[in-house]
Structure formats: C-alpha cells, structure tokens
Structure 1
Amino acid sequence: MGERRLFGTDGVRGLANGELLTPEFAVALSASAARVLAERDRSHRPVAVVGRDPRASGEMLEAAAIAGLASAGADAVRVGVLPTPAIAYLVGALDADLGVMISASHNPMPDNGIKLFAAGGHKLPDALESAVEAGIEHSGARPTGAAIGRVRDLADAGTRYIDHLLLATPGPLDGIRVVVDCAHGAASTVAPETYRRAGADVVALHAEPDGLNINDGVGSTHLGPLQEAVRAHGADLGIAHDGDADRCLAVDATGAEVDGDQLMAVLAIAMRESGELAENTLVTTVMSNLGLHLAMRAAGIAVRTTKVGDRYVLEELRAAGYTLGGEQSGHFIFPRHSTTGDGLLTALRLMARMAATGASLAELAGVVKPLPQVLQNVKVDDKAAVAASTVVKEAVTAAEAELGDTGRVLLRPSGTEQLVRVMVEAPTAELATSTAARLADVVASVH
C-alpha cells in the first residue's frame, strides 16, 4: 500500500470493483478493523454491525466485509439497508465493538465506500485508522473451528432506529406537509415512515431504490424535482437527503432553497429557547457565511468555528460539551442524540420547530441574511510560500480593514492541489468580487 493513506475524510471511497474497492480489499479491511478494534478488549468475541445503502455493489461488498469480519473471529450483525447514522446509533445501542457502513453517500451509483465506526458509534481517530491500514497486509494467525465469527440478521434494526429518532424529536409534527426526496437511497423506507409516525403528512419522492438509480438526478445534489413537487403538492417544505442520509437540505413552500447556515440558525435558536443549547454556543466551520454569525450575535448565541470537515466540528463538540454543530453542506450533529451527522434527526427537529411556532420555514430562516460571497481558486507554485508571504498578509489585513464588521476574508490552501482558495463576503456582490480579484492577484504574484 506504500505511504498512501486509504482513508479520506469520510472513510474509503472509489469505483466499486475497480482498482481499490474490490471484494478482496473489503475482506482485508474488515478483518484488519476487527483485529485492531478487538485488541482494546479481549474479554469477549468482538461484534460488528454491518449496514449499507441500496447501490448494487453494496451486496457484493457487504458479503465481503462480513467474510472478513468472521475470518478475524468477529461476529457480524447484518442490518441491511439503513442510513449511516443508523449504523452509528446501533453500534452504541447494541454495545458492539465496531460498525461497517458500505456507502458512497452522494456519489454516483458506480462508486461505493466503506466507513468504519469504533465502539459507541464514533468515527475512528487518525491513530486507529492508521493501525487498520497497517494491518491490511498482515493477517497473522486466523481463527479456526468455533473461534470463527458468526453472522446474524437484526430484523428490527430499522424500527429501533426510528424509535430512537422519535424520542429525540421535541414535539409532534401535526399540521406539517412535507415532500421528502430520498434519492433512491438508504432512507427510502425509514425517512417517510419516521416523518409519518412523528405526525407529518408525507409525500415520498424517489423512494424506490433498485440498486442502480441511487442519486441519479435526484436527492440532495439535484433539488429541481423536489422544488417542483413541493409546489405541486402545496407542501410546507421539502427535505432532500443524500444517498446515505447523513445530510439534510431543505426548500421552503415556494420551492426556494434554504441553505445550511439558515437551517443551523433555526435549530440553534430553537435549542436555546428550550434550554438544550449548551453554553448558548453553536459550532460551525470557517465556511459559514458572516450572515449566520450576525444572526447568532443578535440572538445571543456564541459561534465557535473550526476547520472545514465534520470531524473537526465533532472534536470541538466533544471537547467542550456543546450540543449543536454543523456545516453549510447540510451536515448537522446533535451529540446528545447522535455521534455523527443525521439527516433524519435534522429534518425532524426542523419540522418540530415549524409545528411549535406555526411559522413558515421561510419566516424562520429569514433571521439569516446571507452576505454575497465570492470564491476564487488561484493556482500557485507553492502553497506554503503564499501562507508565509508578508505581502499576502498585508493585503488581507487591508481588505479586512476596508470591510470592517460588514464582511470578511478567508484564504484556504487546498488539501490536495497547489491551489489557494480566496473567499470574500461583503455587503454587495460588486465589492465582494472586486476585493476577491485584488487578493487573487496578490496571491498569484507570490513565487
């Protein structure tokens, strides 16, 4: 495997049955995960929860992952097609040692991925990921006879997850009509059922997965069909999930998109009013619009910012005991109820707020007035030289002084390319564009 890290920010992804993501790889990865995570507690045979989204290659990779787990002496609990957050929840609820989720989220059907959870349903820290990678090529002694892992199905896995979600919903959704776009993905059965059981009038859209149609022009990456359906059905809102339902996007009754920052504001204000918002603090990333920061300041809510990536949001939440965090992308975490982003829980809490206040989603989301934002990708010779450049720092300082409290500047080096991303928010699109262009020129001049 060389020095290449297999794990990205959200597990291992690639073309299913292509160069990397083969059944042989799934066997080796799962076996290594079982060995590494079992090392922490040798008092019992390790137990793993295994789930997947509906894409066709998931059947193949699920079989391979279960074979790998059993070959390493771990028992596998197969739960079938369920959202990623359901797998995380079940790992904790069943007191399992690890979880394996087979999904490529919003990626096209030919792709797939393998995501691992440690005990408690938490994402693996970097050190454990590295240990799992190192163990892929070193299987060691294999168990035989009665020591080989066993496999069982958990027939009521979906019901357990739905019951958990309903307990975490603040109130009934009576009077709410919602269209939910399931992207022909992992939430196709559980999302409509959950929202109905919570009291909503539900129109299910793209909830007939056949293994090949996941994310195909539908779901969170293609909002057009949802927007049309909301208007056609006279719904109060529309909810769009991605393939594994760890994210939630929304549109209001007119079909207008409500962005992730606006959703965060609605959720934060609701939790502050109910006393659930620890330290009256919201955790988000540096990419959230200044409009969110201004709205939170007006509502008496502090905002803590992290680097981009849900793992950094999670770290901040866990380190300080905060109770709500999220990303602009529609990925929200409620640590008292979930260890990872949960699109269904997000939607339930959003609709509960609408039902409790009688306000429309557009009214609730209106507390955030997003500032015009311009993002320019600047190709550079050396990202490190740009980061160290006095000329760049002076240009940024001058731009920030010009914008004052009415805008902001953010320079971010790409994690994978020789690029620097220049982001500017300002009161007008013209000012944002001109400021970004000026800074981009300065960045590009650094050699």
Structure 2
Amino acid sequence: MTVTSYNPADPTDLVLSVDAAGAAGTRAAVERARAAQPGWYAAGAAARAAAPGRAADAVEAAAEELAALAVREVGKPLAEALAEAARAVAILRYYAQAPYAPVGAVHDTAAGPGLLLTRRRPHGVAGLVTPWNFPLAIPVWKAAPALATGNTAVLKPAPEATACALRLAELLALPEGVLTVVPGGAEEGAALIDAADVVSFTGSTAVGQRVVAATAARGIPAQAELGGLNAAIVLPDADVEQAADHLAAAVAGYAGQKCTATGQVIAVGAAYEPLREALAKRLAAADRGPVIGEAALDRLTGAVGSARDAGATVLTGGGRTPGPGWGFEPALLADVPADHPLRTEEYFGPIAVLLPAADLDEAIALANAGRHTLAASVHTHDLDTALAAADRLAAGMIRVNAPTTGVDFHLPFGGTGSAGYGGREQGSAALEFYTASRTVTLLPGA
C-alpha cells in the first residue's frame, strides 16, 4: 500500500507518496521501541529533559518551513500554521521540565517501623494515533509527555498529514527507537493498538470506540479524544458584536476543522435577532479555506441540503466555493429539526445551527443534550451568570466571552460523554496518564 497526501487547495498537487509500514512493519517498530525503552528511561532525568529542549530549538528554527508544509498538506491558513508551530515549541519546552518533577511520595506505615513509597513508572511503548487537522501540535502534545516520563513512542499519523509527521520526527532527532513514525492507515493503526503498552488516540467517535474496546480487551490504558459538537450560549446582556466575532472565528476558523469548533449557537431571549444578523454577516465574509477533501465537502453540502429539505432555513453559505480546491461556504442554519444529524453529530466543517432559548435554563439544557460535550462558551457581562453556567454545563472545557476554540497546553484537555475517554491530555494530567503508580513497602529485617 502507498500512502499519499494531496494539497486540499489544489488536489492535483501531490505532497507525499510513501510506502505504508504495514502491520508487520508496525509491529517491528514497536519491538524496536520496546528494546530502546529501558535505556531511554535509565538515561535519567537530565537526558530526558535535554532532548525536548534541543527539539524545541530545532522546531523553532524550522517554524516557517513547518508552517508552509502544513499549509500545503492540510490546508491550514498560514497564520494558524505559524501559531501551531510556535505552540509545538512551547509544549516541548514545557515538558522539558517534567523529568525533574516528583514521581511519588513517602508515607508512614499504619503501625510499627518501616516506610511506604509510591512511585510512578512508565508503561513502556506508547502508541500514538493522531489526526490531520493539527499535524504538528497534536503529535507533540502526545509524544512529549510520553517521552519525558520514560516511555518510547510509535506515532501513526493520519495519512493526510504524513509529510508533517515525518519532518517533525526528523527535527526532534531522538535516539534510534525512541520515536518512530509509521505511515499508514487503518491496518497500521490496528497493529499499533494491538502491540503498544499504552495508547493515545485522537480521531472520529466510531473509530475511537473501537480503539477503547480493543485496549480494554488487552487491559492497557487508553485515552481517546473523539471530537465535539460544541455549543456557544449568548445571553441578552452580551456584547453581540464581540460575540459574533468570536463565534464566526470558532465556526469558520480553519474551515471548522477543529474538535473545539462551535457547531451550535444558542441565543437567549432578545439576543436572537441581533445575533442572527451579525453572525450571518460575519460568516458570509469569513475566510473560505478548503476542507480536507472531496468526501468532507460532499458530506457538508449534503447536510445542508437534507436540513433544507427538512424545513431548515439557510441563513448564509452552505455551497461549494469556486476554484480548484475543496472550498465550502461557511454556513449558518436556523429552524433545524431536533432529530437532524446537524443537531446530534459533529460534521467537522464550517457549519453551525442557530437555536433560540427562552432563558439560561433552556440554553443549558440544549447545550448539555448532545453526547459530544467537549467545549462550550458563554457570552455575558454578568459574572454570576457566567459562574452559574460554568457550574452547570457538562462540557470538559468552558470558556467565558471567548470562542470555544483555543486550548491552554498546560491545562487538562478533554471532554465528557462521547467526546472523550480515559485520562486527560496535556499539562500534568498527561504525565499521570503515561505512567502507572506503584506502592513499595519497606520494613525492617528480622
């Protein structure tokens, strides 16, 4: 099998063609990683801290090159690609300090002399399965904590982002077997999940549920970030123009191809009419970058068509843009029936549904009704309202007077319901996920 990636802005532009690793090649990569892991862990904190520090310098020096590659391979706008490269650098530097963090605690025994210790140890080989939409940041935020805690890693990127992953691994320049990229698709992903000692997956809900089942059957830890159908609540006292700016960015930024993108806009009471007008206007003028491929474009246009047939009103957008790439007009729809997939599923594109709510209680009920509760935003000038909403929203991440998009890499990342499974990513939470706690009892000899 050959792995290929094409420029979504110009589908005739072949970015990369490389042989897939295959199941046997993936298993071999895991065995090399397993052989390298004891030495990597035994090298000590200083070595495991120095490596990401050097890698950060290398990625920073190549930031413009990496950004240009991300623009070409996955259609990311240049400003966002540059920001993603900078984020990868910051993540590497953050985790460069992690090997020096405490890995356990000392306790007194319940009775008599002795000592009790807890100590966190690496699992072994981390299997990392990553998507195409953040081809630099997501591989780094999975690999950096895994490696800092003494694991080795095998990375299986999405086929559409293989060139970015391979170049990133070159720049990280880690010892043989410490980080290996295996090009491929479902076959390689399944082989990696079947062989690794701990698995971190980001991708679709359907595939993620199979990953969770497979890892549970093997009795190994797994985390799965499965996307989100994210809600934004706009209260009557909010600055509607500012809220519309935030929402347009969260709906249409990078063509809506972020798991934290806004898919449902809930306008409370008198906020509905002015928000409807302001948001439709901004989405009509939004940057119309490409979606990742023809299948994604067909799914989005099909969703708009079926919603219209079901009685929905298309306030703006919803069609294919002229030109050679996979362009889609950012869309806002009203009057979408509650049972339509746009109300229940993530479409991973610049498309949102506008919903009215009589009050905050109804708005929160609408926001919490879905099964993909990853992120939510609340727009209001009232602090009490903001705090009340934050307490009652089910989402794993709640942002006030800010877009649903945007993640602080030093804090836990993840959702609830079908949006995520297992331990949180990023920050110190990731260090816990990639390690297991062991309890040691030391008693005096006879």
TM over 0.5: no
TM-score under structure 2 normalisation?
0.28
Greater relative contact order: 1 or 2 (C-alpha under 8 angstroms, separation 6 or more)? Answer: 2
TM-score under structure 1 normalisation?
0.28
